[in-house]
Structure formats: structure tokens, C-alpha cells
A and B are shown apart, each in its own frame.
Chain A
């Protein structure tokens, strides 16, 4: 496999040609917050807006999940401008999230907790007004529960459902604040085409999808 050399946070690393900066960093134990990217997806959604990095020669921060590595590239994951964008993104997500870690099954393994800690943002941040969605929890599946109020719309579950399994039971619907991961006609998941493989639950970075 052909590789290129680049520098991330002063560390000299090698990455396969065509690799995205995000995966190059993660493979070398350099953490960059991320929610929506999947390594097997060659056309990233880049929708979570968390993976900001600064690259020498570029005037503005870029999303690491869409930026392809180049020989001699100098990446900084700790730049103030990049961190500021990432912090705003996580604070906006937290502003419409219940954040009831105390009674959440995912607590401890939740990406939101990890990202907030990494960015030094309090989970109970008050920067933005809290507006909750108050959507009903769906426990129709025999295998798992879906709490849309804890969903960050990263699309991981949707991606595995179709790329890996070719089912496509899940998707996004509605617009703006009402946007949510759902099924055709907003049916309960248990009555949809879902075949209970559980891969979506494994892919969920938050407590939105949890095994029963």
C-alpha cells in the first residue's frame, strides 16, 4: 500500500494514499471529535461539524473527515479557531439533548460525554437555551429501544442499515428542529422493515439506540 507522510500535532505519521485526515489521526492515537463519519463510507456526510482541524496553508479550519491526506501536510488539532467551532457544535447538540446521564444506559460509553470532556465543555452547558424535542420513546422492537430525544442525527445507524445490510428501514424525515431518524410513515420500528440485526444499535454513539 502506498503511503504519504504528514505531521499531526507535531507527530510525524504515515497514512495510506487517499486516506482522510480524521482516520489517519485516529489510527495514530490522536483523537479528533467526530460523530457522523464512518471509515467505510467514501462519501462522508460531514454533518456533525465536530471534526475541525487547522491545516498549514489553509486560512480556515476544515473538517478532518473530508480532508484527504497529502505528503508534507501539517495538521493541528488544537488550534483555537478549530476548537471554537467544535465547541459550538457540541454545545448546540447538548442544548437539545436531555443529558440525563444518571439514568442513561449508555453512560460511560457515550460519545457525547467523551467529546464534551475532550473539548472541556460541561455537559450541562448553559451557553445556548435548552430546547427539548419531547418525542415519544419507541420500544416496539423486541431487541432495542429508540429514544429520539437522545439522537444527534449523526446518521450512523442509517448508514449501516443500508450500506452493510442493504435494508434501508431507517432514514431521516421532517425538517429543521423536527428532523429525526425514523421509518417510513413514522411507524414504530418494530412494525417497519427492520430485521432486528442490532447493527444500528452497535453503531449509535449516544443513548438513542440501546439494547433492551
Chain B
């Protein structure tokens, strides 16, 4: 997904950001947060740079990145899909909804579609359990998202894209 040019750019960008930090191991998380804030995610090259900078094993950076939910290994898509797997949504079949999203987008949770249109992840209760099962689409919670509604939401995105395409022409 990332080509050589993009990789060099990422390495350079990361180096520039790292200049503001001291080389203390305790800075690992703030450093990663800053890099993600700038790049939108934590590409391989950025993690390698951080490891080199703090002089720690690369796997330790990877370990922290994969431990915390706040860090992403994949670039964000244009649209973010967050499937709620909180208690209420779980009871109402949140897992089935998640499966539907996975199947439709052909990606797993934590991943981004190849065209970078959608990224998929899960959340744990977004505070509107009455609407279970909930999927948060671009920060807006949608209720009763069962597999058929998944198709509906995707269809409306497609329509929008078509419309945009026509207007451009």
C-alpha cells in the first residue's frame, strides 16, 4: 500500500517530529501520540524511527502500539466505521453486525480498505444502548444497524460518491 516515496516521506516527517522530544524511554507513548496526530496512523517506518530514536528494541514499540486501542497501524479511511460491542449491543447481535461490515468491506477490524474509503474498528458502548446494535459512522451513532442496514449505509455512500463524480464532470 505504501510505496518507496511515501516511505521516505514518512521517515523524514517522523524525524522532524522526534526533534521535539528527549530520548527518554518514558517518552514512548507521548512520542507515538504526536506522530499519529501528524500522520493519522503509525506506519512501520515511523515505528522504526521511534525505536531508533529511543534506542529500544523495535518490538517494544510495536508491543505498545498493538496494546493500546488509541494507536492505529493502518491509515484512516475517508469514512470511519465503529461497531459497538458494548454489553447491550453485544446482546443485540453486535458481532453479527461486525461480521457484516467485515464481509462487505473485505477487511478485518483495525484495517482500512485498499481504496482508503473506509476503516473499520470496534468500540465499547457509546452511551446510546437503546439504539442497539449501534454502529458509529463518521462519528455519528446509527441505531439498529443489522446486516441489511449495513448494506443501506454503504449504498448511500455509493450514491453520494456517484453524485460527487457527476458534479465534478
Question: B66–A184 contact, CB under 8 A?
Answer: no
Question: B67–A169 contact, CB under 8 A?
Answer: no
Is A174 interfacial (CB-CB < 8 Å)?
yes
Q: Could you count the A-B residue pairs with CB atoms below 8 Å apart for me: how many are there? A: 39
Q: Which residues of B contact A60 (CB under 8 A)?
A: none
Q: Which residues of B contact A193 (CB under 8 A)?
A: 58
Cβ-defined partner of B63 (8 Å) among A162, A167, A169, A173: A173
Q: Which residues of A contact B57 (CB under 8 A)?
A: 162, 167-169, 171, 184
User: Nearest-CB distance from A122 to chain B (Å)?
Assistant: 33
Is A182 interfacial (CB-CB < 8 Å)?
yes
Number of interface residues, chain A, beta carbon within 8 A? 15
**Cα–Cα distance between A175 and B44 once the two chains are bound (Å):** 19
Number of interface residues, chain B, beta carbon within 8 A? 14
**Cα–Cα distance between A162 and B57 once the two chains are bound (Å):** 9
**Cα–Cα distance between A184 and B51 once the two chains are bound (Å):** 11
Binding site for A on B (CB under 8 A): 44, 47-48, 51, 56-63, 66-67
- 5 nearest A-B residue pairs (beta carbon): A168-B57, A171-B59, A184-B58, A173-B63, A173-B66
Binding site for B on A (CB under 8 A): 162, 167-175, 182-185, 193
Q: Which residues of B contact A167 (CB under 8 A)?
A: 57
**Cα–Cα distance between A182 and B67 once the two chains are bound (Å):** 13
Question: A168–B60 contact, CB under 8 A?
Answer: yes
Which of A174, A185, A193 has the most chain B CB within a 10 Å cutoff?
Answer: A185
Cβ-defined partner of A173 (8 Å) among B48, B51, B67: B67
| Given A162-B57, A169-B57, A171-B57, A185:B63 Cβ within 8 A | no
**Cα–Cα distance between A170 and B57 once the two chains are bound (Å):** 9
Question: A172–B44 contact, CB under 8 A?
Answer: no
**Closest Cβ neighbor of B57 among chain A residues:** A168
User: Nearest-CB distance from B50 to chain A (Å)?
Assistant: 12
**Closest Cβ neighbor of B61 among chain A residues:** A184
Q: Which residues of B contact A185 (CB under 8 A)?
A: 44, 62
**Cα–Cα distance between A104 and B60 once the two chains are bound (Å):** 30
Q: Which residues of A contact B61 (CB under 8 A)?
A: 184
User: Nearest-CB distance from B45 to chain A (Å)?
Assistant: 11
**Cα–Cα distance between A170 and B66 once the two chains are bound (Å):** 15
**Cα–Cα distance between A167 and B47 once the two chains are bound (Å):** 17
